[in-house]
Structure 1
């Protein structure tokens, strides 16, 4: 069982285990020893104040393990994945905790193919990390001065994205873009420049501690309110490392990843590019999406939460579109991982070619009421080992049957159990969600 890696790399409070200097150095050592195709790695980071010292410590470990690093500076997670693959780096590394608060940080790893590392490779790296931790001393982990970033990587990534929508024009549109004071702040203005229309960039002044603070994809109602107040055409909002994006339509209504998958699937199908007429979503996607896709002759498969698991199911089923309600959208014919900026351009391009607004394109998505209750837990034990929890879940499933869904899972990045229920009857939905949450709190709560 993995102890360090969650569904999206290693993540914790910066400076505390497993993001203390000793462990970070050991990660660098272990990763360096795992490299096979090249001993050179590319490293990027988000805007947290801890990102630079974590990067410097990691690079010291890489160097000690016989690898060398190139620094892309502040850049998005999908940019590192793309650039690692294009230039043949042995690995890509991103220092980021995505949507988490500024006190947290993380280490995300990509292989030379641009894909997130498999569970098997992460487990092997973990084993070596723990072996190093048993012998390392604090005297051996002094970080060198951080490398100067190579700004050309950012320009290359922007060129890659723009080439995907060569005919896109935003003339006549006003777009509000919320960068979450994160990695998108370094690329958004350049990316949208020259596309026409009026682009209003917001929350693009990072200070090391304001990433995701009252803005970004964690707070999509912020950009939605701005759209409504300014009578804009639509809004786009990113998370801290810009691997996902959410939207707001012209009426100031939040548009999530389910709606994006619906409009993207229909567009691809109309052009004969939706492989096997299949979309891969997750257990968290709303039943309304499944119904809307079915009306368009499109099958929906469900994968476990986590874009790496969505991608695994896409490869198995041959699907050309997948994603998560949270805004991770995967276009494998274009990229190896979710990319919020790429998704934004794809949505804008559908609006441009169809001549329809975001509200019009998603009008028939009838969303079942859904509630998510997060329960802080002291440990992530299998829930089927607690009869009281099992009984409460079973009662909910039996009562809801075909009129709702119950999904209980542990967060891959935080000490949380997530209770998600959706149902036609909102009162019953809330009752069962709280009952299950209470049962988990009793058995496992802090």
Structure 2
């Protein structure tokens, strides 16, 4: 059954609630159009485990080598019905509506370009659309969750209550407050955590130390996982926690969804603000963002990091300098020949210095 142009979280929701064995999304996610790939969901609405996904990928390539073409098969289209079902579900996440609000939506010229504006208008908001004209090639091009500069300008120019930027398949959301403050996934986890009061929030190793400190003030713990929303959800299910996400804007409200859902995230943030009678600026006060520097080092030969003495020495010196006011994370990319370095600390100049020292040590050891 073809669902038409819908978002990745829509496919997850429809697969779980409908009579479907699996759901398949063709998407470039937050990347350029030529990086299209597949996201596969089981009937429970969860992404397939890594091992099953790898097995499926290998099997597809084997089939491609053994056949010259695929037979044409008829497929049914339930585009309008499926989209309406998903929008009805999303509307339930904003029971008090959005009447009186002005909202700027950046849909990244992607899958949310029809769904998000229609839903926000249905809930009573005045909607200003931007990057809602996909042509098949302009997805994520200078717009969306990775490029929020123009959205910020539009929010300020319109005097809007807030802006929301989705990525191409709308499983991410970055918000812009009325004052022009950029609110990433960490900010959203804080405002939602303050409202929901869970015993802990699940985030990844990339989430800012400021989130951990701000949640601690509220008596809420932070559990960190490897990078990837699937690992966040696995830990949420294991710990029976209702809220988790990534700094990049994947936020999972487990009561409503098994996947990061950008439109749902924007609705929940707006609903929380409306219920509290507060602005997004007010709801994220007390979040001190620690300077964070990310550096990528391309390598020729991969060696275990714990066997690189000069690298370990630089990491130890950084940890010694920053103490509990900083963090160091060094890992290999899972998809590219890159070592990824993240250094976080109280002073941006020292963070930059330490990140460069670690990068130079890795480059010397692996180049």
TM-score by length of 2: 0.93
User: Which residue does the alignment assign to 1:197?
Assistant: 125
Q: Could you tell me which of 85, 88, 95 is aligned with 1:156? A: 85
Unpaired segments ≥5 residues, structure 1: 1-69
User: Which residue does the alignment assign to 2:35?
Assistant: 104
Q: Distance in 1 between matches of 2:338 and 2:5?
A: 29
Q: Distance in 1 between matches of 2:351 and 2:233?
A: 30
User: Which residue does the alignment assign to 1:230?
Assistant: 158
Alignment of 1:9-408 (within 5 A): 70-129=1-60, 131-132=62-63, 136-137=66-67, 139=68, 141-142=69-70, 144=72, 147=75, 149-151=77-79, 152-171=81-100, 173-269=101-197, 274=198, 277-377=199-299, 382-408=304-330
User: Which residue does the alignment assign to 1:48?
Assistant: none
Preserved contact between residue 181 and residue 203 of structure 1 (Cα < 8 Å)? yes
Unpaired segments ≥5 residues, structure 2: none
Give the C-alpha shift of residue 404 in structure 1.
0.6
Give the C-alpha shift of residue 146 in structure 1.
8.4
Equivalent residue pairs, number? 366
User: Which residue does the alignment assign to 1:49?
Assistant: none
Shift in alpha-carbon separation, 1:374–1:104, aligned structure 2, 3 A: same
Q: Distance in 1 between matches of 2:7 and 2:208?
A: 28
Q: Distance in 2 between matches of 1:379 and 1:246?
A: 36
Q: Distance in 1 between matches of 2:138 and 2:303?
A: 34
Q: Distance in 2 between matches of 1:100 and 1:291?
A: 32
Q: Distance in 2 between matches of 1:384 and 1:145?
A: 53
Preserved contact between residue 91 and residue 123 of structure 2 (Cα < 8 Å)? no
Preserved contact between residue 295 and residue 340 of structure 2 (Cα < 8 Å)? yes
- The Cα offsets for residues 188-219 of structure 1, whole Å up to 9 and x where unpaired, read as 12111232232101100011111111110011
CA RMSD of aligned residues (A): 2.1
Out of 102-111 and 384-393, give the one that drifted further: 384-393
Q: Distance in 2 between matches of 1:424 and 1:258?
A: 18
Shift in alpha-carbon separation, 1:378–1:190, aligned structure 2, 3 A: farther
- The Cα offsets for residues 242-276 of structure 1, whole Å up to 9 and x where unpaired, read as 0010001111110111110111011112xxxx3xx
Give the C-alpha shift of residue 394 in structure 1.
2.8
- Report whether the alignment pairs 1:432 with 2:354: yes
Shift in alpha-carbon separation, 1:77–1:382, aligned structure 2, 3 A: farther
Q: Distance in 1 between matches of 2:346 and 2:204?
A: 20
Give the C-alpha shift of residue 387 in structure 1.
3.4
- The Cα offsets for residues 360-402 of structure 1, whole Å up to 9 and x where unpaired, read as 1111111111111233445765433433433332332232222
